[in-house]
Amino acid sequence: MVQFRFMKAFSLFLVLTMVVVLAACSGGNGNNSGSNASPSVKASDTPKESSQEPSEQASEEPAKEENVTVKFGNFSGSGDTAKYLTQMQEAFQKEHPNIKIDIETIAYGDYFTQMQTRVAAGQAPDAYELNYENFVSYAKKGVLLDINPFFDATQFDKSTLNAQALNAFSADGVQYGMPGSFSNVLLFYNKELFEKAKVDLPTKDWTWKEFDEAGAKIRALDKNTYGVFQPIQFHEFYKLVQQNGGSLLNADKTAFTVNTPENVETLQRIVDRVLKTNIMPTQAQLSGVGDWDLFKSGRLGMIVTGVWAFSDFMKNVTFEWDVAVEPGNKKKATHFFSNGLVINKDSKVAEAAFEWIKFLSSSKEAAQIRVDAGWELPAVTYPDVLESYLKLTPPSNRQAVFDSLEYLVTPPVIEQFGEMADILGIHLTAASEGAKTAQQALDDAQKELTDKIKL
């Protein structure tokens, strides 16, 4: 039954993903090929070799495997999850002793700026991680390698991955990447603070009203305890406005709608949590303490964050905690994050790079490492792996991960996604610090986005 519920929800998530990605990728560049594949590693049927005459191929001696190094850039293996990526690296290299994986991990906040610069300079790693939001932009720039020839050459079993998840990282029929993982966002809460404040525990039916009321009662416990934390930034805002019936773009995605009354009301609500009711701490009150650290210290009642926190919280939280589907307002909406794995079209070791991303994406071994670590969810179809994910505790209500998939909304994926997110983020920060009213911040954002972003 659990598996059935998961597969139903997961399928819904993937269908949603597919619809948006395909729509966003309609202008994708399909001008890549596998011509840069190295002939020195395992899968010998490279696009270059397949162009030879059959008689010529038959007369050749088997290619001798040479030692190669694949440079791999990523952001999701930073911090506490680094050791799990190392486990995958070691498992892969045991199976492929001639392929060394040189991992470079860059913090998420710097990753896309650095990667954009390196791609422009022709210095991108052989393989690298791209999130769903940025994939379209890179595909359109023609900097990614078509991996279809490698699927054919290695007779890759696509049934190990959900078909829709795989298609999500394609554009115009060209497969530019493989899905690495996905994750979503939940409401995490400190059960002990709820009991101390005599507040009912969160349910999946909660709205902003119950969320704020519980936060206020927990905030009242003492001056150093806060009720809620929900970052005021682009990724939270695009989702929150949809909970309130708003959006950042019009229906046909030809114009920004950032400063509509629904969106202004949304921003005012979350700013009030900081500056008016103070159920959420200001930057000064945080004094450099991170939001996760505040929760782990037992001084925060609720935090809205991703399932990638499971790994850290399972090890480092000493009080009782659990999760619930995050609250909505006029409707429920929660976002998801999906990370894909791509190959630099100019890589000299593309075939080895494919072996590496194939292992990360579809191998049962890598999937089980990810599940055991509580490090997001693999996009694989192995039922036993997915069942084992649900059995892990805490949190007790891990089923909320899959219940949330019923309310997924996707970010506005455009070619200038990074620039759009940066512009809106600057104005949201100004509002959260009291430098601008909510109305002024979104009026300014609307003007700047309209002037600088091409839709």
User: In this predicted model, what pLDDT tens digit does every residue of 221-244 receive, in sequence order?
Assistant: 999 999 999 999 999 999 999 999
Does the residue 15 lie in any domain?
Answer: no
Same structural domain for residues 76 and 177? yes
Same structural domain for residues 152 and 294? no
Does the residue 47 lie in any domain?
Answer: no
Same structural domain for residues 259 and 230? yes
| Domain count along the chain | 2
Provide the pLDDT for residue 137.
Answer: 83
Provide the pLDDT for residue 395.
Answer: 95
Same structural domain for residues 234 and 170? no
Residue 111: domain span: 68-182+337-396
Does the residue 353 lie in any domain?
Answer: yes
Provide the pLDDT for residue 17.
Answer: 43
Distance between CA atoms of residues 311 and 239, nearest Å: 24
Q: Given 354, 371, 396, which residue is the final one in a domain?
A: 396
Distance between CA atoms of residues 166 and 158, nearest Å: 8
Same structural domain for residues 282 and 244? yes
> At 8, which amino acid appears?
K
Same structural domain for residues 322 and 216? yes
Provide the pLDDT for residue 63.
Answer: 56
Q: Report how far apart the first and last C-alpha atoms of the chain are (Å, whole number).
A: 44
Does the residue 35 lie in any domain?
Answer: no
pLDDT values of the chain reduced to their tens digit, one per residue, 455 residues: 434 444 444 444 444 444 333 333 333 333 333 333 332 333 333 333 333 444 444 445 545 678 999 999 999 888 878 999 999 999 999 999 999 999 999 998 899 999 999 999 999 999 999 988 888 889 888 999 999 999 999 999 999 987 667 877 887 789 999 999 878 899 999 999 999 999 999 999 999 999 999 999 999 999 999 999 999 999 999 999 999 999 999 999 899 999 999 999 999 999 999 999 999 999 999 989 999 999 999 999 999 999 889 988 999 999 999 999 999 999 999 877 778 999 999 999 999 999 999 999 999 999 999 988 878 888 888 989 888 888 889 999 998 988 887 888 878 878 788 899 999 999 999 999 999 999 999 999 999 999 999 98
Q: Given 356, 373, 396, which residue is the final one in a domain?
A: 396
Helix (H, G, I), strand (E, B) or coil at 452: helix
Provide the pLDDT for residue 42.
Answer: 36
Provide the pLDDT for residue 429.
Answer: 96
Distance between CA atoms of residues 223 and 4, nearest Å: 46
Distance between CA atoms of residues 455 and 250, nearest Å: 11
Provide the pLDDT for residue 402.
Answer: 81
Would you state the structure tokens that stand for residue 247, as one six-digit string?
Answer: 């959006």
Provide the pLDDT for residue 181.
Answer: 85
CA dihedral 407, 412, 415, 420 (to 10 degrees): -130
Same structural domain for residues 328 and 202? yes
Does the residue 42 lie in any domain?
Answer: no
Alpha helices, DSSP H, located in 130-233: 132-141, 148-154, 163-167, 191-196, 208-219
CA 372 to mean position of chain CA atoms:
19
Same structural domain for residues 222 and 301? yes
Q: What is the CA radius of gyration of the chain?
A: 23
Provide the pLDDT for residue 164.
Answer: 64
Same structural domain for residues 139 and 150? yes
Same structural domain for residues 285 and 365? no
CATH number at residue 215: 3.40.190.10
| Alpha carbons within 13 A on the beta-carbon side of 328 | 20
